[in-house]
A and B are shown apart, each in its own frame.
Chain A
Amino acid sequence: MWSNVLYIDLDTGEHTIRDRADLFDKYLGGTGVATQLLLEECPIGVDPLSPQAPIILSIGPLTALLPCASKAVSMFKSPLTNEMGESHVGGRLAMAMRFAGYDSIVIKGRSDKPSYLSIHDEEVKIKDAASIWDVSSIEVTGQILRNVEPGKGRRSIMRIGEGGVNQVRYANVNVDTYRHFGRLGLGAVFGSKNLKAMVISGTEEIDIPDMSAFKKMYNKLYNSVVDTDVMDKYHDLGTAANISVLNQLKGLPTKNLKQSHFENAESLSGEYFADNLLFRKIACSNCPIGCIHIAMLKTQFHKGHEFEFRNISYDYELIYALGTNLGITLAEDVLRLIDRCERYSLDVLSVGGVLAWATEAYERDLITPSDTLGIALRWGDTDKYLKALDQIVKMPNKFYQALAKGTAVAAAEYGGEDYAINLAGVEIAGYHTGPASIIGQIVGVRHSHLDNGGYSIDQKASSQQLTEEKMVDKIIYEDYWRMVNNSLVCCLFARGVYSEQIMIDSLASVGIIKTRDELEALGKEIFLAKYQFKKQEGFDVGRVKVPSRFYETVSQLGKITPETIDNMLTLYREKTGV
Chain B
Amino acid sequence: MLACSRINVNSVSLIDSAIDIRTSGGLESAFEIIVCRACHDPPCARACPTGALTPRDGGGVVFNKDLCDGCKACAQACLPGAIHFDRSGLPLICTHCGVCSKFCSHDVLELIKVEVL
A218 touches B6 (CB 8 A): yes
B87 touches A205 (CB 8 A): yes
Cα-based distance from A222 to B13 in the complex (angstroms): 18
Chain B residues with a Cβ under 8 A of chain A = 2, 6-7, 10-16, 20-23, 25-28, 87, 103, 105-106
Cα-based distance from A215 to B12 in the complex (angstroms): 10
B28 CB contacts on chain A under 8 angstroms: 139, 177-178, 311
Query: Nearest Cβ distance between residue A484 and chain B, in whole angstroms?
Result: 23
Complex: chain A residue closest to B87, CB-CB: A205
Chain A interface, number of residues (Cβ within 8 angstroms): 35
- Binary B-proximity of A119-157 (CB < 8 A = 1, otherwise 0): 000000000000000000001001100100000111000
Query: Nearest Cβ distance between residue A29 and chain B, in whole angstroms?
Result: 16
A376 CB contacts on chain B under 8 angstroms: none
B11 CB contacts on chain A under 8 angstroms: 205-206
- Binary B-proximity of A269-281 (CB < 8 A = 1, otherwise 0): 0000000000001
Query: Nearest Cβ distance between residue A296 and chain B, in whole angstroms?
Result: 11
A211 CB contacts on chain B under 8 angstroms: 10
Q: Which residues A258-311 have CB closer than 8 A to chain B?
A: 281-282, 286, 288-290, 311
Within 8 Å of chain B (Cβ to Cβ): is A314? no
Query: Nearest Cβ distance between residue A284 and chain B, in whole angstroms?
Result: 10
A178 CB contacts on chain B under 8 angstroms: 27-28
7 tightest A-B CB contacts, nearest first: A153-B22, A288-B105, A206-B12, A205-B13, A177-B27, A226-B105, A311-B28
Q: Which residues A321-363 have CB closer than 8 A to chain B?
A: none
A215 touches B15 (CB 8 A): no
B105 CB contacts on chain A under 8 angstroms: 222, 225-226, 231, 288-290
A205 touches B27 (CB 8 A): no
Given A204-B13, A215-B6, CB of A177 within 8 Å of CB of B106: no
A76 CB contacts on chain B under 8 angstroms: none
A286 touches B2 (CB 8 A): yes
B14 CB contacts on chain A under 8 angstroms: 95, 99, 153-154, 203
Query: Nearest Cβ distance between residue B20 and chain A, in whole angstroms?
Result: 6
B87 touches A152 (CB 8 A): no
Cα-based distance from A516 to B15 in the complex (angstroms): 36
A143 touches B26 (CB 8 A): yes
- Binary B-proximity of A47-58 (CB < 8 A = 1, otherwise 0): 000000000000
A286 CB contacts on chain B under 8 angstroms: 2
Within 8 Å of chain B (Cβ to Cβ): is A72? no
Complex: chain B residue closest to A292, CB-CB: B27
A153 touches B12 (CB 8 A): no
